[in-house]
Structure 1
């Protein structure tokens, strides 16, 4: 299997395999914490190892995860998520009803977990955070008035900055002093009714 460095858009089969809240959670944990076994995932999620093993096999069948080569035993297999970004196709009217439902489940669960991760960070007491990490994060929100062309340009700049960071820090997994961090970049248009200068009344 090749790594999807340029971004893998999930097809209908992969979406359907992922369209289960527990599978999205497993996939997210493999991204966040690195390789895991069915037993370690069960402890993190609060499920049985039999349940996590079943879902791991379903994810592996669609090339979403893979077994770690040279690690583990016949009784205890290690699993990882291949490096590289994935693109989640949002619900589309051109999809079949079943595929659209799968896309909705996957997208909703991914962003629910993403928001929960952010809230856990914001509500984490200082006593649970090493001093050198307490002011390392940044949560920033602003609004701008842009044309579609300007937003596309800014989107590309943000994407280039993220790609540069990925390349700069590639290969540091497990290095002394490092922690896995979440890097987020979001840009999207607001509904016209709440965008300045686009109200229905003059």
Structure 2
């Protein structure tokens, strides 16, 4: 299984990794994240930037006590950090930790607990990506107008690749993201939006198809 990263992962902020799993979550951190509400919280922070416990509670339809508890658990594993210079002792702002989140290392997949946690997180991430895409397809034109719709790209391609070529495809994709972020000066994922900017989610999936007869 190739490493999975949250959409907010920003490799340009950190030194180049010698191996794609160098920054993968440990089993302890992976199990700490593997809770549906914690994954939802991570999705909200990744997709929309810093939020408070009460802000998350409103977005997720939960109590602020519940979101506060899960925020503390995420912070315990250094998955999120407090936004410095913002908020107060009673109302703290939280954001994704620099570098994003990578899961799926061979070490964690070698254990039943690690595999179960990885599969749960992967499913929740995939469902969130689908929700975001469906919201854009349903409301994007009315909310954003034709210019943003025309600037967006929805693309599916099929290639015939061997394992090495598929891995190279993924590496080239990440390098392209790093190069464009550096070109545009967009290495700070949680900074305030400049005029004309919106939060943008990039969805990219490259995987071998499994025929129904193979299952």
Contact 2:140 2:149 (C-alpha < 8 Å) held by counterparts: no
2:38·2:70 contact (CA, 8 Å) conserved in 1?
yes
> Counterpart in 2 of 1:190?
209
Task: Answer with 71-80 or 182-191: which moved more.
Answer: 182-191
State the shift of 1:162 in Å: 1.6
TM-score by length of 1: 0.84
Q: Tell me, in whole angstroms, the C-alpha distance in 1 between the residues paired with 2:49 and 2:103.
A: 21
| Aligned counterpart, 1:150 | 165
1:128-171 CA-partner distances (Å, limit 9, x unpaired): 22343121111111211223333333333222212212222314
Supply the distance in 2 between the matched residues of 1:115 and 1:103 (Cα, whole angstroms): 18
1:16 aligns with 2:31: yes
Aligned to 2:103: 88
Provide, for residues 15-42 of structure 1, a one-character-per-residue CA deviation record: whole Å limited to 9, x for no partner.
1111111110101111111111001111
The CA deviation at 1:193 is 7.6
Structure 1 runs of 4+ aligned residues shifted over 4 Å read: 90-93
What count of residue pairs does the alignment treat as equivalent?
Answer: 192
* C-alpha distance in structure 1 between counterparts of 2:60 and 2:212, whole Å: 41
From the CA coordinates, give the structure whose radius of gyration is larger.
1
How big is the shift at 1:71?
1.6
Quick one: structure 1 residues 104 and 192, their matched pair in 2 at CA, closer, same or farther if it must change by over 3 Å?
closer
Q: Residue 133 of structure 1 aligns with which residue?
A: 148
Give the C-alpha shift of residue 93 in structure 1: 5.4
Contact 2:56 2:67 in 1 (8 A): yes
**1:72-124 deviation per Cα after TM superposition (whole angstroms, max 9, x unaligned):** 111111111123232111796521x3332222211111111112111211222
Secondary structure of residue in 2 paired with 1:70: strand
Distance in structure 1 (CA, Å) of the matches to 2:110 and 2:164: 26
User: Structure 2 vs 1, CA of residues 47 and 25 (structure 1 numbering), >3 Å: closer, same or farther?
Assistant: same
TM value normalised by structure 2: 0.79
Q: Distance in 2 between matches of 1:190 and 1:18?
A: 28
Q: Which residue of 1 aligns with 2:6?
A: none
> Superposition pairs for residues 1-202 of structure 1, below 5 Å?
5=14, 6=17, 8-89=23-104, 94-95=110-111, 97-124=112-139, 126-169=141-184, 170=186, 171=188, 173-191=192-210
Q: Secondary structure at the match of 1:184?
A: coil
Gaps of 5+ in 1: none
Q: Per-residue deviation at 1:65? A: 0.5
